[in-house]
Amino acid sequence: MADLRFRILGTAHRNIYRLTGGKLGGRLGKLPVLLLTTIGRKSGRPRTQPLVYTQVGDGYAVIASKGGAPRDPLWYLNLRANPLAEVTVGRETRRVLARDAQGEERERLWRSLTDLYPGYERYAQKTSREIPVVVLEPAPVDAVARSTRSTRTSSPGSARSPRRGCRSTAGGSTAASG
């Protein structure tokens, strides 16, 4: 039942955000919110989730908390299957490449995001899994070109990629924190 409520809230949030260019829904109180669009690992269809974020250089960082649930959120599993995604902040949409933050970078970003929303600490205490911190960096042009070619040559049902995880160089459960 909780999943259904989050789906309904997420859909409403997403639609209001898009309709107003983020003027409504671009913040939850003081928390900044972006829209992350992934490709469903099973359906091959776009899936959009509002998430709390922090700016990281030219990109963003988000936490895949799912409110401290035992399993990762679906959007994170989608990024593990295909790390190329889109982020909308306000009226600006751009392609990003996702990767898991590791080590010191993860700890620094975790602190930054828990300073924004202390509830993430409670979520971490509720679960035995390490909650992923995901960095969404501007996608290189060649990654976008490869993605466009592969989308044109595959049907939605065949869009599944091998499980390779978010690209790694060393992922809240409010309606907007994943």
User: What are 95-133's pLDDT values in tens digits?
Assistant: 999 999 999 999 999 999 999 999 999 999 999 999 999
DSSP string, 50-76: EEE-EEETTEEEEE--GGG-SS--HHH
Q: Which residues pair with 53 in a beta bridge?
A: none
Over residues 65-87, mean pLDDT: 95
Residue 143 has pLDDT above 80, yes or no: no
C-alpha span between 134 and 155 (Å, rounded): 28
CATH number at residue 114: 2.30.110.10
pLDDT category at 60 given cuts 50, 70, 90 is very high
**Do the domain assignments include residue 153?**
yes
**pLDDT band at residue 93 under the 50/70/90 scheme:** very high
Contact between 40 and 101 under an 8 Å Cβ cutoff? The reply is: no
User: How many domains does the structure of the chain reveal?
Assistant: 1
Q: Is the dihedral of CA 172, 71, 160, 168 positive or negative?
A: positive
* Enclosing domain of residue 31: 2-158
User: Looking at the domain assignment, is residue 165 inside a domain?
Assistant: no
